[in-house]
Amino acid sequence: MKRVLVLGATSAIAEATARLHALRGGALFLVARNPARLKAVADDLAVRGAGRVEAFVADLNDLSHHAELLAAAETALGGPPDVALLAYGSLGTAVVLDRDPDAAVDVLNTNLVSPVALLTLVAARLEKVGRGTIVGISSVAGDRGRGGNAVYGASKAGFTAFLSGLRARLWRGGVHVLTVKPGQVDTPMTAHMTKSRLFATPGLVARGILAAVDRQADVVYLPWFWRPILAAVRALPERIFKQLRI
């Protein structure tokens, strides 16, 4: 029975991924800040066949809770997790972020500072036992800064770089680090956006995450077609790219 720690368990992608682990009979430790929503997710996973489900309420932007929740997870799961999935984040509103430094800092704290602090502690625990997988959900937005989401893109670029460095440091010790780069996903966070054929469902992304964990991939774009799209975007000269209204 795999032990799975889900950080940001009420996000649509995290919930869909946790359901797949539940179908495999995994033991799940869920962390999120909304008690009612967290309980609903936990109850659903128990019905779906999870070997064990425990819930822990915490605001992950409060770094003082991190050590406590990881200790609680190890106690509930009977040891360090086999898989630690970090799936929380904040998109923000570009118009606000471009003009409000406090709002920009909030997004950077949620998408970069808190994840780095938390995964640093997770990495130390997994490194000690010489096994386990860390899954960090970044974004294709981190591949190149765009005028339409400069702050969000910067936060994801930083998180992608952190995961890359973590992977380079930990792989010799038996710890696998997977960077997940979803494109546009139809979730509550993107409810205000006009949907196109490029939008994926949380379930599709979740299946891609589980498959990438199983084969121990380093980086996965979900859906797959974002890899060539972003390769083309990165190849554009800056003098051309800056003129695009994206």
Reported as a single tens digit per residue, the pLDDT across 51-83 is 999 999 999 999 999 999 999 999 999 999 999
Separation between Cα atoms, residue 19 and residue 99, nearest integer Å: 39
Residue 221 annotated to the active site:
no
pLDDT score for 244: 86
Nearest 5°: phi and psi at 52?
A: -165, 145
In the set 29, 56, 88, 152, the catalytic residue is 152
pLDDT at 124 over 80: yes
pLDDT score for 191: 59
pLDDT tens for each residue of 169-226: 999 999 999 999 999 887 776 656 666 677 889 999 999 999 999 999 999 999 999 9
pLDDT score for 192: 67
Structure tokens at 155: 């936060």
Give 3's strand partners. 27
Burial readout 133-164 (b: 16 or more C-beta within 10 A, e: otherwise): bbbbbbbbbbbbbbeebebbbbbbbbbbebbb
Q: Which residue has the higher pLDDT, 232 or 200?
A: 232
> Which residue type is seen at 125?
R
% helix, strand, coil for the chain, step of 5: 55, 15, 30
**Mean of pLDDT over the chain:** 94
In order of their start, the domains of the chain are: 3-241 (3.40.50.720)
In the Cβ-directed half-sphere of 126, how many Cα atoms lie within 13 Å? 29
pLDDT tens for each residue of 29-46: 999 999 999 999 999 999
Separation between Cα atoms, residue 54 and residue 72, nearest integer Å: 10
- What residue ranges in the chain does DSSP mark as E strands? 3-7, 27-32, 52-57, 83-86, 133-137, 176-182, 219-222
**Confidence category of residue 97, pLDDT binned at 50, 70, 90:** confident
Separation between Cα atoms, residue 75 and residue 48, nearest integer Å: 23
Statement: the pTM of the whole predicted model exceeds 0.85: yes
